[in-house]
Amino acid sequence: MEISVLMIGSIVIFFAAFIQGITGFGFAVVAIPFLSLFVSLQMVVPIVGILGIYINFYIYFRERSYIDFKEVKVLLIFIIVLTPLGTYSLVMINELYLKVVTGFLVLSFGICLWKGKSFRVKNEKAALVTVGSISGLLNGSIGMMGLPIALYMTNQKAKKNVFRANIALLGFVVAVLTFFNYTMIGLINIEVIQYSLWLCVSLVLGSIIGVKIDKLIKQELFLKISTIVIMLSGFFTLLFAG
């Protein structure tokens, strides 16, 4: 990887970590599309996966006292169970179609939330099962586990500390499991680890600054920022679908 690409990569990782430091999600959705413009996906995806372990653990550790374990447990079970099916779906459905449909739906729901419209949830447990299942399918297919969860929690107007803690814990567990999976299939190698270490400085700085800024943000503004990140995530997914 050339020095110029490493510099661009450092800027992208800093910005992605900064966004996740504030909202608790969005790191992979921001980092992967832009890094893949300069580096092959076979290298980008495992690098972002490794970096995701740190940033999710960092946010979880800071917010761990706010964890809603009942909610996390239901989501995690269905994410783990449905992730293999999501991977299998890539054989049946073109990745382009999955990204276009996902991007369109995420952007549409994000716009609705921005306009102040919310969707009434009558059965919270059934909603969590649905969100966890969709997250697992997307995690296995296109690596976008966090978006359905972020949409659900924004719609429910979850307290920002609970929002960030829950998503960070889920992201950490899934990132660790994904790391072992990538190692088994040969995507994690010395080169990937070396470049991950090069990008760690930007990752740490971005996440620390983002977390510090989050402390100054009140609940209402936090939900607005989260909604903007959701809409941008949907837009980026459509933009880089091909």
The three-state secondary structure class of 192 is helix
Q: How many CB atoms lie within 10 A of CB 93?
A: 12
What length does the chain have? 242
Cα gap 111→227, rounded to integer Å: 8
What integer pLDDT is reported at residue 67 of this predicted model?
93
Element spanning 3, H or E: helix 3-23
Cα gap 208→16, rounded to integer Å: 12
Q: Which domain does 89 fall in, by range?
A: 3-239
For residue 110, the number of C-alpha atoms closer than 13 Å in the C-beta half-sphere is: 23
- Alpha carbon distance, N-terminus to C-terminus of the chain: 23
What integer pLDDT is reported at residue 242 of this predicted model?
65
The residue with tokens 């990140």 is 229
What integer pLDDT is reported at residue 121 of this predicted model?
84
Domain count, the chain: 1
- Residues 6 or more apart from 171 whose CB is under 8 A from it? 25, 27, 52, 56, 60, 145, 146
Cα gap 197→204, rounded to integer Å: 11
Element spanning 189, H or E: none
Q: Could you report the average pLDDT of every consecutive run of 10 residues in the chain (242 residues)?
A: 81 94 87 82 85 94 93 93 81 77 85 83 90 88 82 90 93 88 83 91 95 91 90 83 69
pLDDT tens profile 76-89: 999 999 988 887 77
Cα gap 215→105, rounded to integer Å: 31
**Residue 215 corresponds to which amino acid?**
K
What integer pLDDT is reported at residue 62 of this predicted model?
93
